[in-house]
Structures are given as C-alpha cells and as structure tokens.
Amino acid sequence: MQFDYEKRELNTIRMKELKNLVKNHSGIITDLVDHLFKFVRQENSDRRLAVLLICDYFFQRSHLFRLELVGSLQDFLVYTAETDPLHYPLPAPKEASSALKMETLKLMKNWHEKFSSAYPKLSHAYNFLRSSKAFDFERADTQLQIERVRAEEADRRRETLAKRVIEEVMQQVNERKEDIEKCVRETRSALELLVPKFVPQDTTSPLCSPASNTPENGANNAVSTLS
C-alpha cells in the first residue's frame, strides 16, 4: 500500500484494490489485521500512520474488522498512541510521531462516539486514554472539531456548486427551448420525407375484394354482360 507522506493520504488505486478484495472475501479480515499489525510494529511513524488510516477505513465499515481490532486494541495503542513510552517509544522524527499520536487520539474519539456502546473494550480503552495526562485530548478535540467544520464547509460548497450548475443548465435549456422545438419539428419533417407513408387498402372496395377476382365470379360477370 503506497502512502503520500506529504499529504498523508493513501494511494487511491491501491486502496480500492484492497477494498474490493476484502469486500469479496470477508474471510481474510483476520489475516488482514495480522498483516497490519506487522506493519504497525515497524520503526517508522509515517508507515504506522498509513496503517492507522487503513484501519480507520475498515473500522468504520466492518463489524468483523472492529471485533478483530478491538480484541487487540491494547497492543495497537502501544504502537500508535505511545501508551508505553518507556519500552515502546514512537519512532523519530518527532514531527511524524506527534502526528501519529494525535491522529490516533482523534480516531479513538471518533470510534468511541460511534461504536463504544457495542464494544465495551473500546470504551474502556478510550476512558483510559482520556483520564491520562499523557494524552492531549483537548488539542485532539480542537483539531477534530476544525476538521469537521472544514468537511461541512466543503460539503456545502459542493452542494452550492451542484445547485448552480443545475440552474445554469435549466436556464440554457429554457433559453433554447424554441430552437430545440424547431429542431425537433424539422427532424420529424425530414423523417416523414425519408420514410414513405403506407396507407392501408380499403377492403370494402369491390376492386379490392378477393371474391371479385375468382374465375367463377369472372364467368358470372361475363354471362351477365352477354344477357
């Protein structure tokens, strides 16, 4: 899984492949979590952050994934939130380790708000982090709120843009309504000229009656004429 260390974003193509793989083979979730733990133990804070973002994606969408991760949440927090700094300090540089720790706190808060009622271990872990002075939840709360406001503003901008585009399209359609209707009429006229109209024969006419053309009727007509 490639990771943009500058933007702190996962490679969308590779992530899509992983999503489809898990979606079509839910039985691999246990193996997926095992592999993620192998990566999160590596001495690289940026790589750990990439693992954290992957975990967040599947944690938000899969009950099975939540069960697996919550079952090993204590170990996971050792490598992402630095819950045991004496034995397992986060890898340098400081900027990367601080970003990893802060992102972990924000995700834990988000996970707790959404899923704690169904996963007691998640609630216990969050309360432990919240009660410790070693974790700057006040800053995490502030950053999370800022991110939510930005996301809401982005959604509003997208909605406004979509509405404006629709209005512009409707305006153009209304302005060109006469031209469009004229074009439709001309198209119909052209089709009528190209495709001949077949008028059904009048079956009530004597000339069109099948009986009038039989040999017997022909003979009768001849006799009548002679007489």
**Helix or strand or coil: residue 140?**
helix
- Cβ-Cβ contacts under 8 Å for 82 (sequence gap 6 or more): 88, 89, 90, 97, 101, 134
What is the residue extent of each domain of the chain?
3-135, 136-190
Q: Name the percent of the chain lying above pLDDT 90.
A: 35
Q: How far apart, in whole angstroms, are the C-alpha atoms of residue 18 and residue 47?
A: 17
Q: Looking at the chain, which runs of residues are DSSP E strands?
A: 3-4, 9-10
Give CATH for domain 3-135. 1.25.40
How much is the pTM? Answer: 0.60
Determine the pLDDT at residue 95. 86
Q: How far apart, in whole angstroms, are the C-alpha atoms of residue 120 and residue 128?
A: 12
- Cβ-Cβ contacts under 8 Å for 141 (sequence gap 6 or more): 109
| Cβ proximity of 13 and 53 under 8 Å | no
**Helix or strand or coil: residue 189?**
helix
Residue among 133, 136, 72, 65 nearest 104 (CA): 136
Take residue 34 and report the two structure tokens written for it: 């095992």
Determine the pLDDT at residue 222. 45
For residue 81, how far is the Cα from the chain centroid? 30
Take residue 101 and report the two structure tokens written for it: 């720790």
Count of beta carbons in the 10 Å neighbourhood of residue 8? 15
| Cβ proximity of 90 and 82 under 8 Å | yes
Q: What is the residue-level pLDDT of the chain in tens, covering all 227 positions?
A: 555 556 667 888 888 899 999 988 888 999 999 999 999 999 999 899 999 999 999 999 999 999 999 999 999 999 999 889 889 999 988 888 888 988 998 899 999 999 999 999 999 999 988 887 777 666 655 555 555 566 667 777 777 777 777 777 777 777 777 777 778 777 877 777 776 665 555 555 554 455 545 555 554 454 444 44
DSSP run (H or E) holding 220:
helix 215-226
**Helix or strand or coil: residue 131?**
helix
Written as one letter, the residue type at 190 is A
